[in-house]
Structure 1
């Protein structure tokens, strides 16, 4: 890498770090950390098996785009990534930072996942990758989001959440079962990556279950 390229890369990283810190200060209830994602986390995300043959992936809470770039690096050339970011400044920065025809950035609330995915998708997602902090949600909001993920995922799809705390398990384990857990101790602060799989069965029992979840989600969604 040339000196000019190295300087540009460092400048981009500093800009992302500053925007992330400012976003945390201005939106402490919606931004999980004062720092962008670490190289240790990005490496783990690139290794996710669910990305390799994916056609459509949804990312929740991409922040300033480091995780988005990591996901795209492991996704097929003809796949699509829908990234939903709540903080307007982060969404603008993400559109500027990651130029990729597979990426579509939406400024919106992850709690509106069902509505947003219906507006912007052609297929049910193979995976939903979430960095939104479940520890900042009420129980009702967390349940709503997990139910939305379960309903929108294709059979056999994967739900991934990277979190500083285990709160997400209080809501996801009941619907998905026990997750595969990968620790990322070198992140600051340390975090864990949780992976759940939606059963691949297309039985009537599963269809009724997802229909019931969809109805319950709609009832909860009317409150927001």
Structure 2
């Protein structure tokens, strides 16, 4: 293949890279959605109204480890870090290497750790980073479209890894996520945020002290 042919072949990739760089995090998010639509819940990141309402019940003074599944381009990451104590840790887990690479490159906070892996392995990941339990786990994963058995496995592992008094925070675009949570969490608070595309269902599954 000649140098001219190589240049022609590389042109679409250069254009793609320039467009993605121009769009910033939106470009990374859009590419992630196109490549893995089953694993990314929405083509549009969550609104600030969803973020604020989702994080409101967290007892930040007693939060040492906050875990997030499917952080994407970090829509929740900075809001969590803004609230997290100085000695806390935000541990995010995603199966998309593009998202993990982007987060590691753009978030330099020493309390932040991004792991390429499955949420079903959260117990091992948490232990590997020096913790026995998580205080809170946040998830925007589309439970209803995950491969068979993955959703239930994640819900079960999440219940085991959360400390008593902690909670599983879930935001989705269908109410089916509650079914996965209800198998393990007896007390589930719910909410709805319409200022989002699409409107967002929110659930807080509490792991009771008793």
TM-score, normalising length from structure 2? 0.84
Q: 2:57 aligns with which of 23, 48, 51?
A: 48
Contact 2:187–2:207 (CA under 8 A) maintained in structure 1: no
2:46 to 34, 37, 51: 37
Pairwise CA distance, 1:60: 0.7
User: Where does residue 69 of structure 1 map in the other structure?
Assistant: 78
The answer to which structure has the higher strand fraction is: 2
Using the alignment, how far apart are the partners of 2:22 and 2:144 within structure 1? 27
> Which of residues 21, 35, 41 is equivalent to 2:30?
21
The partner residue of 1:170 within 175, 179, 182 is 179
1:192 aligns with 2:191: no
The 5-angstrom pairing of residues 87-102 of structure 1 reads 87-102=96-111
Q: What's the counterpart of residue 159 of structure 1?
A: 168
Shift of the 13–184 alpha-carbon distance from structure 1 to 2, 3 Å rule, reads farther
Number of residue equivalences: 191
Q: Distance in 2 between matches of 1:56 and 1:111?
A: 17
**Shift, 1:52, TM fit:** 4.1
Which string of whole-angstrom CA distances, capped at 9 and with x for unpartnered residues, describes residues 18-63 of structure 1?
Answer: 1111110011111111112222222223423233420111111110
Query: Structure 1 or 2: larger helix share?
Result: 1
The residue aligned with 1:212 is none
Unaligned runs of 5+ in 1: 1-10, 202-224
Q: CA RMSD in A?
A: 2.0
State how far apart, in whole Å, the 2-side matches of 1:88 and 1:114 are. 20
Q: With the length of structure 1 as denominator, give the TM-score of the two structures.
A: 0.79
**1:123 and 1:79 mapped to 2: Cα distance?**
14
Q: Which is further off, 179-188 or 119-128?
A: 119-128
Mapped partners of 1:186, 1:165: distance in 2: 15
Unaligned residue ranges in structure 2 (runs of 5+): 1-19
